[in-house]
């Protein structure tokens, strides 16, 4: 059965490559040049591998921001990338508010090496994944309701596994325009992982239309993990240039591991208040105060930690192809008592919280992105510790049809040992051929050292390849 499955996979790859060879490549001119005296505009191209989503020409469109992104504004997010979801899906597979906006067939070859051991584990499987969306405007376009779901099916050892062993990604977002000055955005995101996330996609997502950079989790789980996050954002425009926001958040996490039996529950209660002012159309600064109470319950005595951060943020579109956004603040940490009565390592006293994102197009074909975060990172395991995370990517558009992208990332918990740290290197290639279809291949190398049985320790090499259909490919 294994030989048959490998033969089928090889035949599919050979067939797709043969089909690609018969399709002529049509060169397209780059039309993104602009005069140096022209004021900055929203960029019109994205890093390779990131869909360019122009504003649909209909009354239900949510316009792209005309200036820098507000890091504390209420935004409906894409369940696949975590990037802001602007406009309506323009897929031809639409039935009223219901649509299919993506389809993937993915083959995965995964190899995992245990630390200080000659043993290794190899697996081969295939994924089918579909992007489903419900997108509807209510009350004369004053409110928008978006529901997204990414069901997937895996083929492993000649057997079909419905929904890929219960891996789920579901997102619900609604934005209400309560008054001309007051809006409320509420969202609910549910993630369920029964096995390791074998698809090395979107570790660092970027969108040059909105200047957004998002760092998604890349850590490998050692069992099952579920998380549900509910958050809301109240935005009030004091004046055309000044606005205030209040953002409550609640998150529940649970991680379990069969051998040895282990279970951990985590709860986060958070709220932030920000005051922002736009000095120009392309420069925004502000003040922010954030409170977080994090509680972890395991087989031992429950632990908790409180973080209170006071800081400032800055966001600017320096040029048509250059975005920068960041914040920095002083954080006070308290609580966190272990069963012994001692404090959790690195979780008392004062510290620094920070965030920085850069997005730059050197030329119409070369794009760079950088993301850095110090604070409470929401990853796929339960922890009370703050952490450092930095990612960088470089993309190159080889032709009108081909693109190549490479990214690197590093993560570590703050405080003394034992602590978790991990890093990755990823490279992917994409070839767009016909009818919104694109062939892609991705190779990722992950090094992980874990201080908890919720995550594995070792080195992982993953090769993913397949065909993707997306309506964004129709316009490239």
Q: Are 443 and 462 in contact (CB under 8 A)?
A: yes
Q: What local confidence, expressed as pLDDT, does residue 259 receive?
A: 62
Comparing CA positions, the residue from 406, 389, 388 lying closest to residue 398 is 406
Q: In 74-223, at which residue ranges do the beta strands (DSSP E only) sit?
A: 94-95, 98-113, 120-138, 143-149, 152-156, 159-161, 168-177, 182-193, 204-207, 212-215
CA atoms within 13 A on the CB side of 350: 3
Largest CA distance in the chain: 70
Which residue segments constitute the domains of the chain, with CATH numbers given?
2-20+45-475 (2.40.160)
Q: What local confidence, expressed as pLDDT, does residue 45 receive?
A: 33
Q: What is the pTM of this model?
A: 0.81
Q: What local confidence, expressed as pLDDT, does residue 16 receive?
A: 37
Measure the CA–CA gap between 52 and 47, rounded to whole angstroms: 9
Q: What local confidence, expressed as pLDDT, does residue 26 receive?
A: 32
Measure the CA–CA gap between 213 and 202, rounded to whole angstroms: 11
HEC readout, 352-388: EEEEEEEEEECCCCEEEEEEEEEECCCCCCCCCCCEE
Chain-centre distance of CA 377, in angstroms? Answer: 12
Cβ atoms within 10 Å of 368's Cβ, excluding its own: 16
Q: How far apart are the first and last CA of the chain?
A: 40
Comparing CA positions, the residue from 135, 128, 149 lying closest to residue 79 is 149
Which residues, 6+ apart, have CB-to-CB distance to 123 below 8 Å?
A: 108, 109, 110, 156, 198
Cβ atoms within 10 Å of 63's Cβ, excluding its own: 9
Average pLDDT per consecutive 10 residues, the chain (476 residues; last block may be shorter)? 46 41 36 38 34 39 62 83 77 89 89 79 86 87 87 76 66 90 93 66 82 88 88 94 94 82 89 93 93 84 88 91 93 68 58 93 90 91 92 93 94 89 94 90 92 88 91 56
Q: What local confidence, expressed as pLDDT, does residue 194 receive?
A: 67
Measure the CA–CA gap between 361 and 57, rounded to whole angstroms: 26
Measure the CA–CA gap between 370 and 48, rounded to whole angstroms: 15
Q: What local confidence, expressed as pLDDT, does residue 42 receive?
A: 37
The first and second tokens of residue 63, run together, are: 């316009």
Chain-centre distance of CA 83, in angstroms? Answer: 7
Report in angstroms the alpha-carbon separations of 205 from 3, 26, 40, 391, 419: 36, 28, 22, 10, 26
Measure the CA–CA gap between 7 and 462, rounded to whole angstroms: 19
């Amino acid at each position: 059965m294994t030989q048959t499955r490998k033969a089928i996979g090889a035949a599919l790859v050979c067939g797709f490559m043969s089909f690609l060879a018969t399709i002529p490549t049509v060169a397209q001119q780059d039309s993104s040049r602009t005069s140096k005296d022209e004021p900055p505009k929203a960029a019109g191209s994205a890093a390779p591998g990131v869909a360019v989503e122009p504003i649909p020409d209909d009354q239900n469109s949510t316009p792209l921001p005309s200036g820098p992104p507000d890091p504390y504004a209420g935004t409906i997010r894409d369940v696949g990338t975590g990037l802001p979801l602007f406009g309506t899906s323009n897929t031809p597979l639409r039935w009223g508010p219901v649509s299919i906006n993506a389809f993937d067939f993915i083959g995965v070859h995964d190899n995992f090496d245990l630390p200080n051991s000659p043993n290794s584990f190899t697996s081969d499987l295939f994924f089918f994944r579909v992007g489903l969306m419900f997108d509807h405007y209510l009350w004369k376009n004053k409110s928008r309701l978006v529901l997204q779901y990414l069901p997937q099916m895996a083929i492993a050892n000649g057997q079909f596994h419905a929904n890929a062993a219960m891996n789920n990604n579901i997102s619900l977002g609604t934005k209400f325009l309560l008054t001309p000055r007051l809006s409320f955005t509420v969202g609910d995101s549910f993630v369920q992982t029964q096995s390791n996330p074998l698809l090395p996609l979107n570790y660092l997502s970027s969108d040059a239309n909105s200047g957004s950079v998002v760092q998604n989790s890349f850590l490998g789980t050692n069992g099952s993990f579920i998380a549900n996050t509910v958050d809301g954002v109240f935005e009030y425009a004091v004046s055309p240039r000044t606005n205030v926001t209040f953002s409550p958040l609640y998150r529940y996490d649970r991680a379990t591991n069969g051998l040895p039996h282990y279970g951990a529950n985590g709860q986060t209660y958070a709220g932030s208040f920000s005051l922002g002012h736009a000095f120009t159309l392309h420069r925004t600064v502000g003040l922010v105060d954030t409170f977080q109470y994090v509680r972890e319950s395991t087989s031992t005595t429950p632990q908790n930690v409180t973080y209170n951060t006071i800081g400032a943020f800055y966001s600017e579109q320096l040029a048509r192809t250059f975005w920068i956004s960041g914040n920095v603040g002083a954080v006070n940490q308290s609580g966190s008592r272990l069963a012994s009565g001692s404090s959790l390592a690195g979780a008392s006293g004062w510290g620094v919280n920070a965030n920085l994102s850069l997005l730059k197009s050197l030329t119409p074909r070369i794009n760079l992105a950088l993301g850095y975060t110090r604070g409470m990172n929401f990853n796929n395991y339960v922890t009370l510790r703050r952490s450092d995370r930095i990612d960088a990517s470089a993309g190159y558009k080889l032709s009108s049809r081909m693109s190549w992208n490479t990214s690197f990332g590093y993560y570590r918990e703050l405080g003394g040992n034992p602590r978790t740290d991990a890093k990755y290197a990823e490279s992917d290639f994409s070839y767009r051929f016909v009818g919104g279809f694109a062939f892609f291949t991705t190779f990722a190398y992950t090094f992980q050292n874990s201080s908890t049985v919720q995550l594995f320790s070792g080195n992982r090499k993953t090769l993913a390849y397949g065909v993707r259909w997306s309506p964004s490919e129709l316009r490239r």
